[in-house]
Amino acid sequence: MSRVDIVEHPALWRAGWYQHAMRMESPNFGPRPSKATIDLVVVHSISLPPGVYSGDAVQRFFCNHLDLHEHPYFEGLSGLHVSSHFYIRRHGELFQFVSADDRAWHAGVSSYRDSTNCNDNSIGIELEGVEGGVFEDEQYESLVALCSAILQRFPVSAFAGHEHVAPNRKADPGPGFDWLLLRHGLGLDAEFFPSTRF
């Protein structure tokens, strides 16, 4: 199957907010460049502290409400203001922090294929997990449903990991992420995905 542009479905999206996600607005975002085309999805992994899958530390981190004194690991996050458009927890719960129409702060210094500054043209999706770890079936189900909705609204032509857009800095989601499962779930050709995975 090749990519076909589809007009926004009003039941799924309102001003860039996906109607099947729990909305928690982050202050960490900005406008996209006027000529930006949203054509890339970047998959990440995160847990705070790493490997702990309980509580709401990630949500509070993206919203600048994380108490840095709660855990020694959090002290290294001081001064960071980041966000992702979406966050999928271990049991598939989906949160959205930034309108997909806006620029979230998830990729940092990055480039992929013909694009630089990937925040400008991408949608960032964080999976609750650790670099190199495996992810749950419920997370893939939620991810496939979300990416299907994204494909209906935006002219996405590529899916990549943080490790692919910032290979010298990042290693997530890592070898535990099943790119083939995502590809088959979306029914897309291999050209949409990192070439090293197929």
Q: Which residues are catalytic?
A: 126
Task: For residue 45, give the DSSP letter.
Answer: E
Phi first, then psi, for residue 16 (nearest 5°) are 85, 0
Q: Per DSSP, what are the bridge partners of residue 135? A: none
Find out whether 32 and 38 touch, Cβ atoms under 8 Å. Answer: yes
In 3-state terms, what secondary structure has residue 86? Answer: strand
- Cα dist. 12→46, 48, 116 in Å? 26, 30, 29
Q: How far apart are CA 88 and CA 72, in angstroms?
A: 24
Q: How far apart are CA 51 and CA 12, in angstroms?
A: 32
